[in-house]
């Protein structure tokens, strides 16, 4: 089992220098990953200051040498695939191949889609995600891409350099509730990020993954347990990563990062 911090880059941690210090402390304490939320708006009651995760991850990359980094998760629906492809390649180069790219549909709970005229319909966002990730992977191949989809276009373009990681940057996909399309999507790639699931929900998701892949071999499952009992139950089901997620603006985030990861759950 590997252990990661999933940090909301808001409030005092909207300062990329502060995030870099937290990440360096986490690496020294034995954490395996430092991941960031990717949001552009937050609800009232939370700190209003928000960092851009990609700029912040560049600062983290320069302050660390071992931990994996990445956004958990980025919604392609409000991104241009070519910009995301370039950002991911550049960051993978900068961190020496430590990037894991988390992807998902995005949410509109704080109007970060509807507030900017983005697509809100979940089915269409799923279609855009499927098309966008196919285009990302083709961009990262370094070969010429000629693509005309329902949502995105690439007219005979070649993207170089390639990422450090081969055959490509690992891709994890978010899934929540009983929807199975997101789980089947994740099973085609490298990992699953279950959101707000209990033991039964995780078991059902992983049954879908096994049905599609044949096994969980080489597949990451990044969970967020609430306590030691759930930590152990998730591990038995096949989780490979445990991510600890401080509350937005939590003043204890730096202290959590400086603690040994196993101490957080008493394991």
* pLDDT tens digits along 20-51: 999 999 999 999 999 999 999 998 888 899 99
Q: Exposed (0-12), middle (13-18) or buried (19+): which is 215, by Cβ within 10 Å?
A: exposed
pLDDT tens readout for residues 211-265: 999 999 999 999 999 899 999 999 999 999 999 999 999 999 999 999 999 888 7
Residue with tokens 């970060």: 112
Q: How far apart are CA 42 and CA 30, in angstroms?
A: 30
pLDDT tens readout for residues 42-98: 988 888 999 999 999 999 999 999 999 999 999 999 999 999 999 999 999 999 999
- From the list 152, 49, 9, 35, the residue with the least C-alpha distance to 101 is 35
Cβ pair 11, 246 in contact under 8 A: no
- From the list 175, 168, 151, 188, the residue with the least C-alpha distance to 224 is 175
Predicted local confidence at residue 45, as pLDDT: 87
Predicted local confidence at residue 264, as pLDDT: 85
Kindly report the average pLDDT of the chain as a whole number.
96
Q: Where are the domains of the chain?
A: 2-265
Alpha-helix runs per DSSP H in the chain: 16-29, 53-63, 81-94, 122-140, 181-187, 199-213, 228-237, 253-258, 261-265
Range 114-131 average pLDDT: 96
DSSP 8-class letter at 246:
P
Q: At what angle do helices 81-94 and 122-140 cross, to 10 degrees?
A: 50
Q: How far apart are CA 5 and CA 155, in angstroms?
A: 39
The reported pTM is 0.96
Asked if residue 128 has pLDDT above 80, the reply is: yes
- pLDDT confidence of 149, banded at 50, 70, 90? very high
- Class at the top of the CATH hierarchy for domain 2-265: alpha beta
Q: How far apart are CA 95 and CA 162, in angstroms?
A: 14
**CB neighbours of 183 closer than 8 A, spacing ≥ 6?**
175, 192, 205, 208, 209
């Amino acid at each position: 089992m590997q252990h990661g911090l999933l940090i909301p880059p808001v409030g005092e941690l909207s300062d990329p220098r502060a995030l870099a210090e937290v990440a360096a402390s986490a690496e020294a304490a034995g954490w395996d990953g430092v991941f960031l939320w990717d949001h552009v708006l937050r609800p009232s009651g939370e700190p209003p200051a928000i960092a851009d995760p990609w700029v912040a991850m560049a600062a983290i990359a320069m302050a660390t040498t071992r931990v994996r980094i990445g956004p958990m998760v980025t919604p392609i629906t409000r991104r241009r695939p070519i910009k995301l492809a370039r950002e991911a390649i550049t960051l993978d180069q900068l961190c020496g191949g430590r990037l894991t790219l988390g992807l998902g549909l995005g949410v509109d709970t704080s109007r970060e889609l509807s507030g900017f005229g983005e697509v809100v319909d979940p089915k269409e966002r799923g279609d855009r995600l499927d098309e966008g990730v196919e285009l990302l992977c083709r961009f990262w191949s370094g070969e010429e891409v000629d693509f005309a989809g329902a949502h995105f276009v690439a007219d005979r373009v070649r993207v170089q350099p390639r990422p450090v990681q081969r055959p490509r940057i690992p891709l994890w996909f978010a899934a929540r509730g009983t929807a199975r399309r997101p789980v089947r999507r994740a099973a085609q790639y490298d990992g699953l990020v279950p959101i707000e699931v209990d033991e039964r929900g995780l078991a059902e998701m992983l049954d879908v993954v096994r049905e599609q892949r044949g096994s969980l071999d080489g597949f990451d499952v990044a969970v967020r347990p609430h306590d030691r009992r759930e930590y152990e139950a998730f591990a038995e089901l096949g989780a490979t990563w445990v991510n600890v997620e401080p509350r937005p603006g939590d003043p204890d985030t730096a202290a959590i990062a400086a603690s040994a990861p196993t101490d957080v759950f008493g394991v």
